[in-house]
Amino acid sequence: MPSLRHREGVIALLMLLGLSSATAAPARLSHGAASSADSFVADLTQIWQGHCAEGAERFERMALENPQSLEARVLRDTCNADRGNLRDAARGLAASIDAQVPGSEPRAIAAAYSTLAAIFYKSDRNAQALEMSRRALALWPDVPYARGVAGAVLLIEEEFAQALPLFVDLESQDGPVNVSTFAQFGRSSCLLRLQRYTEALPAFLETRESALIEQRPTGHLTSLFPFGPSLVAGADIGVATSYHGLGRWREAVEAYQKVLGSQPQLASGDTLVKFGEAQSRMGKWKEGARTFEAATRVDPRSSKAYHWLGTAHSWLRNWPAAIEAFRSAIAIRFQDGESHYLLGIALIRNGDREAALEQQRILESISPLAAKRLKEILIDGSGPDGSN
């Protein structure tokens, strides 16, 4: 049973969002007057499956006829949320949590927390959404919405190890098709970010197939999660990145070309760097240089993009361009020892030994081994020919 402090915390959070106002304390709510535990779960599942409209009038009537019934009020307010009446739903759910009595049906309280989690998530209040989800799951592990919201927030927060089991469980939950597909995508994304590329690749391929056939969700709650075209695009990027992680460069290049050619808006700086790296690993340095150049335009603060751009120009023997790119990388991340070293090489090849010596001195405190290698090249002129 949530403590009084927890109940008051819900009201305070809603007031922060402007979803609640100070009102008289509601009457204590009873359990079982309008709905048995089994019928409550069945009704909640109906909403979860996207069929809220079919029961909306009945839920409203149940709440009017049995105003002290916790389950009736939670069903009405969850249905209201699914129909887009988020403000009224949030007020009602918070009041129900605040008015619960000992012996209240825990699944009804869990459902109230879970729907509040979805409302907070829709309001971009991720910390509050995660807290509501955790309270819901502590009371009822199979409560609708909570796993999806918690997983989505943890994915945003890059807590991939914590998010992965939530998505695995959500896949097996009897929910709407788009939520199941989102769970596949979440699992795939966690595997990718945990560098489990061998598992991520087939998971993204499976997600893509599922997303191609699913229909647009009907309710406001289930449509919180990405669906259809957005998941197809995300899965395509995931496939390409998995190939990249596996070192399957040709397949990575083909996958990146396919998705970025049809949806250029997905060309983030990091995606372009990975695409350019795959091109470069295949020896296509000229194409790689163009891709890295595009990456610096998309994300001018990406030291990795400038580093790879300098590397590509080095392989192309375009020393002035390489020097400029490496200097840009260092300006963003001064402790980048490899860029200092490769800048020194490029300066030597461009005939500026004094500037190369300056890089060697800098490397003494950043990477003594790289400083020693660069000094040897300065002394006898041997060593790399501009490649890395």
| Long-range pairs of 293-301 with CB within 8 A, sequence gap ≥ 24 | 294/267, 295/269, 296/269, 296/328, 298/267, 298/268, 298/269, 298/272, 299/268, 299/269, 299/270, 301/332
- Position 338 pLDDT exceeds 90: yes
Residues 110 and 3 in one domain: yes
User: Per-residue confidence at 30, pLDDT binned at 50, 70, 90?
Assistant: very low
pLDDT band at 103; cut points 50, 70, 90: low
Token code pair at residue 93: 């759910």
Mean pLDDT of 205-214: 86
Q: For residue 287, is it within any domain?
A: no
Checking if the pLDDT of 257 tops 90, the result is yes
Residue 66 clears pLDDT 90, i.e. is over it = no
Q: Looking at this protein, which amino acid is placed at residue 382?
A: S
Whether 312 maps to a domain, the answer reads yes
Q: Are residues 322 and 189 in the same domain?
A: no
Q: Is it the case that residue 247 has pLDDT exceeding 60? A: yes
94 and 192 belong to one structural domain: no
Q: Which residue has the higher pLDDT, 258 or 384?
A: 258
Q: Domain for residue 10, yes or no?
A: yes
In this model, does residue 151 exceed pLDDT 60? yes
Average pLDDT over residues 316-329: 98
User: Given a cut of 70, is residue 10 above it in pLDDT?
Assistant: no
Q: In which band, very low, low, confident or very high, does the pLDDT at 70 lie, cut at 50, 70 and 90?
A: confident
Q: Supply the Cα-derived Rg of the chain in whole angstroms.
A: 28
CATH at residue 187: 1.25.40
Q: What average pLDDT does range 45-72 have in this prediction?
A: 83
Residues 139 and 174 in one domain: no
Mean pLDDT: which of 25-29, 79-83, 362-366 is highest? 362-366
- What was the pLDDT predicted at 290? 98
Residue 260 pLDDT exceeds 50: yes
Q: Are residues 17 and 78 in the same domain?
A: yes
* Region 70-92 average pLDDT: 89
pLDDT of residue 41 exceeding 70, the answer is yes
Confidence of residue 174 (pLDDT cuts 50, 70, 90): confident
Query: Which one, of 252, 253, 241, lies nearest residue 197 by Cα?
Result: 241
Q: Where does the pLDDT of residue 129 fall: very low under 50, low under 70, confident under 90, or very high at 90 and above?
A: very high
Q: Is 339 within a domain?
A: yes
**Measured between alpha carbons, how far is 244 from 256 in angstroms, rounded to an integer?**
10
pLDDT for position 57: 87
Q: For residue 281, how far is the Cα from the chain centroid?
A: 28
| pLDDT, average across residues 123-132 | 93
User: 3-class DSSP state for residue 293?
Assistant: helix
Helix residue ranges, H only, 194-336: 197-213, 229-245, 249-262, 269-281, 285-298, 303-315, 319-332
More confident residue, 230 or 377: 377
Whole-number pLDDT of residue 22: 35
Domain membership of residue 344 (yes or no) is: yes
CA–CA gap between residue 303 and residue 85 (Å, rounded)? 46
1 and 74 assigned to the same domain: yes
pLDDT band at 16 (very low <50, low <70, confident <90, very high): very low
- Per DSSP, helices labelled H in the chain are 4-17, 37-48, 52-65, 70-82, 86-98, 106-122, 126-139, 146-156, 160-172, 177-193, 197-213, 229-245, 249-262, 269-281, 285-298, 303-315, 319-332, 337-349, 353-366, 368-380
CB-based contact 276:261 (threshold 8 Å): no
- Say how many C-beta atoms besides its own lie within 10 A of residue 384's C-beta: 15
Same-domain status, 134 and 186 = no
State the pLDDT confidence band at 381, using cuts at 50, 70 and 90. low
Residues 6+ apart with CB under 8 A from 204: 185, 188, 192, 235, 238, 239, 242
Instruction: Note whether 50 and 117 are within 8 A (CB).
Output: no
* Pair 73, 27 in one domain: yes
- pLDDT at residue 19 in the model: 40
Which one of 102, 119, 144 terminates a domain?
144
What is the average pLDDT score of the chain?
85
More confident position, 191 or 6 = 191
Q: Do the domain assignments include residue 126?
A: yes
278 assigned to some structural domain: no
pLDDT band at 359 (very low <50, low <70, confident <90, very high): very high
Q: Supply the pLDDT for residue 25.
A: 36
Residue 149 lies in a domain: no
**Tell me, what's the pLDDT at 12?**
38
Boundary-marking domain end, from 102, 117, 144? 144
Percent of the chain with pLDDT over 70: 85
For the domain that residue 317 is a member of, what is the CATH number? Answer: 1.25.40.10
Q: H or E element: which one contains 97?
A: helix 86-98
Q: How many domains does the chain have?
A: 3
Q: Are residues 132 and 168 in the same domain?
A: no
Instruction: Tell me which residue has tokens 């760097």.
Output: 273
> Do 107 and 73 reside in the same domain of the chain?
yes
Specify the range with the lowest mean pLDDT, choosing from 49-53, 97-101, 212-216: 212-216
User: Regarding predicted confidence, which is higher, 284 or 46?
Assistant: 284
pLDDT of res. 28: 43
Do 134 and 222 share a domain, yes or no?
A: no
Altogether, the residues listed in the chain come to a count of: 388
Q: What is the largest CA-CA distance in the chain?
A: 93
Convert the pLDDT of each residue in 296-322 to its tens digit: 999 999 999 999 999 999 999 999 999
Residue 375, pLDDT above cutoff 80: yes
Domain that holds residue 301: 295-388
**What is the C-alpha separation between 118 and 128, in angstroms, rounded?**
10
Residue 139 shares a structural domain with residue 164: no
CA dist., res. 112 & res. 74, Å (int): 6
Stretch among 137-146, 291-300, 314-323, 335-344 having the lowest mean pLDDT: 137-146
Contact in structure between 275 and 253 (CB atoms under 8 Å): yes
Angle (CA) 28 32 35, round 5°: 125
Spatial CB neighbours of 77, under 8 Å, sequence gap ≥ 6: 88, 89, 92, 93, 96, 112, 115
Distances in Å between the alpha carbon of 117 and those of 11, 120, 190, 358? 13, 5, 21, 56
